[in-house]
Amino acid sequence: MKTKDLAAALVGVVALTATIGRAADPLPSWNDGPAKQSILTFVEKVTKAGSPDFVPAPERIATFDNDGTLWCEKPLPVQLFFALDRVKELAPKHPEWKTQEPLASILKGDLKGAMAGGERAILELFLATHAGMTTDEFEKIVRDWTATAKHPKYKEAFTACVYQPMLELLAFLRANGFKNFIVSGGGIEFMRPWAEKVYGIPPEQVVGSSITTQFEIRDGKPVLIRLPELNFNDDKGGKPVGINQHIGRRPICAFGNSDGDLQMLQYTGAGSGARFCLYVHHDDVEREYAYDRKDPLAKLDQGLDEAVAKGWTVVSMKNDWKRIFAFGAK
Amino acid sequence: MKTKDLAAALVGVVALTATIGRAADPLPSWNDGPAKQSILTFVEKVTKAGSPDFVPAPERIATFDNDGTLWCEKPLPVQLFFALDRVKELAPKHPEWKTQEPLASILKGDLKGAMAGGERAILELFLATHAGMTTDEFEKIVRDWTATAKHPKYKEAFTACVYQPMLELLAFLRANGFKNFIVSGGGIEFMRPWAEKVYGIPPEQVVGSSITTQFEIRDGKPVLIRLPELNFNDDKGGKPVGINQHIGRRPICAFGNSDGDLQMLQYTGAGSGARFCLYVHHDDVEREYAYDRKDPLAKLDQGLDEAVAKGWTVVSMKNDWKRIFAFGAK
HEC letters along B233-286: CCCCCHHHHHHHHHCCCCCCEEEECCHHHHHHHHHHHCCCCCCEEEEEECECCC
Question: Assign residue A137 a region: left if phi > 0, alpha if psi is -120 to 50, beta otherwise?
Answer: alpha
A297-315 pLDDT, tens digit per residue, is 999 999 999 999 999 999 9
B209-232 pLDDT, tens digit per residue, is 999 999 999 999 999 999 999 999
Among the residue ranges A115-119, A235-239, B10-14, B120-124, the one predicted with the least confidence is: B10-14
Please give the average per-residue pLDDT across A37-61, as a whole number.
97
Inter-chain touch A222–B192, beta carbons under 8 Å: no
Q: pLDDT category, A291, cuts 50, 70, 90?
A: very high
Q: Least CA distance to B216: which residue of chain A?
A: A237
**B203 touching A, CB under 8 A?**
yes
Q: pLDDT category, A329, cuts 50, 70, 90?
A: low
Please give the average per-residue pLDDT across A206-221, as a whole number.
97
Q: Is A10:A2 a contact under the CB 8 Å cutoff?
A: no
By Cβ distance, the residue of A215, A241, A246 closest to B240 is A215
B140-191 pLDDT, tens digit per residue, is 999 999 999 999 999 999 999 999 999 999 999 999 999 999 999 999 999 9
Question: What percent of chain B lies above the pLDDT cut of 70?
Answer: 92
The pLDDT of residue A21: 46
Chain A closest-CA separation from residue B112 CA (Å): 32
Counting one residue from A and one from B, how many pairs have CB atoms under 8 Å apart? 89
Q: What is the ipTM of this complex?
A: 0.92
- Can you say whether the dihedral through the CA atoms of A121, A123, A126, A130 is positive or negative? negative
Q: Quote the CA–CA distance of B317 and A246 in Å, as a whole number.
A: 33
**B56 touching A, CB under 8 A?**
no
Q: Least CA distance to B269: which residue of chain A?
A: A222
Q: Quote the CA–CA distance of B209 and B227 in Å, as a whole number.
A: 14
Please give the average per-residue pLDDT across A170-177, as a whole number.
98
More confident call, A7 vs A251: A251
**B302 touching A, CB under 8 A?**
no
A135-148 and A78-90 helices, crossing angle to 10°: 110
Mean per-residue pLDDT of chain A: 93
B135-148 and B188-199 helices, crossing angle to 10°: 50
The pLDDT of residue A66: 98
Q: Please tell me the pTM assigned to this model.
A: 0.92
For residue B245, the chain A residues in CB contact (below 8 A) are 188, 210, 213, 231
**A31 touching B, CB under 8 A?**
no
